[in-house]
Amino acid sequence: MILPMRRLALATLMMPLLACSASAETPDQVRAAFKSKFPQHEVSSVQPAPVAGLFEVVVKMKQQGRAQYSVVYTDAKVDHLITGDLIDTKTRTSVTEERLAELNKVTVEWAKLPLEKAIKEVRGKGERKLVVFSDPDCPFCKKLERESLSQLDNVTVYTFLYPLAQLHPDAPRKSRQIWCSSDRAASWLSFMRQGKALSGSDKCATPLAEIAALGERLGISGTPALVFPNGELVAGAIPLAEIERHLAAK
């Protein structure tokens, strides 16, 4: 992996800190010092970072009505802050990204999802279940449909129409057209996987407002977003192998 220049610059800035010995300050003392300097931020936790002399500070914020966590690193006196990725050079992975994924992991209560408001596609026996929040004008949603979902077997896919009007102004109208069609699944699949133009009216009652509210509660700000029966929420046009791995997870 070739590290971006920003991350390399961050690593360079950290070098003087790496030469310092571990501080005698405790996490509680670091928390108090941080709060005195940044009273506007809610500190969720403080613990020693993987680098001697540094502490990890987890800051809690609100985004779309739910808790969202970010991570910064500081010296014991909170004289300096480091924002950005802490890289493990042995594994070439971001310790910060892994920590954020752990902190911000969303578990969805599958039983409470309004599946009757989704487009239902059954492949094979349909024994496995998958929910997808998708936007008809999202190129990554089309990529997911064509390269991954189309290859699945023995699965029932529930697609919640989740148009992001701020990115795709015509997506709400297309979503209504799909929902108002006589065969929603056929209309959705032909449009997303085959590129066929939509036709028909968009004048009918739709669940789009309810699905938008659901997505906001779950903190879904982009599409596609996949929800697996174990409650795991995964963002992005992930490959088939990754979908299969998540479907097999308990």
Domains 5-103 and 110-248 in one fold:
no
Residue 143, class by beta-carbon neighbours within 10 Å (0-12 exposed, 13-18 middle, 19+ buried)?
middle
Q: What is the mean pLDDT of residues 92-108?
A: 85
Residue 46 pLDDT > 60: yes
Confidence tier at 22 by pLDDT (50, 70, 90): very low
User: 110-248 domain in CATH 3.65.10.10?
Assistant: no
Residue 5 pLDDT > 70: no
Domain boundaries in the chain? 5-103, 110-248
Residue 164 pLDDT > 80: yes
* Percent of the chain predicted with pLDDT > 70: 89
- Say what the pLDDT of residue 8 is: 36
Confidence tier at 15 by pLDDT (50, 70, 90): very low
Q: For the segment 137-148, what is each residue's pLDDT rounded down to a tens digit?
A: 999 999 999 999
User: CATH number of 5-103: 3.10.450.70, 3.40.50.300, 3.20.20.70, 3.40.50.1970?
Assistant: 3.10.450.70
- DSSP letter at 62 equals E
Query: At what angle are helices 208-217 and 171-180 packed, to 10 degrees?
Result: 120
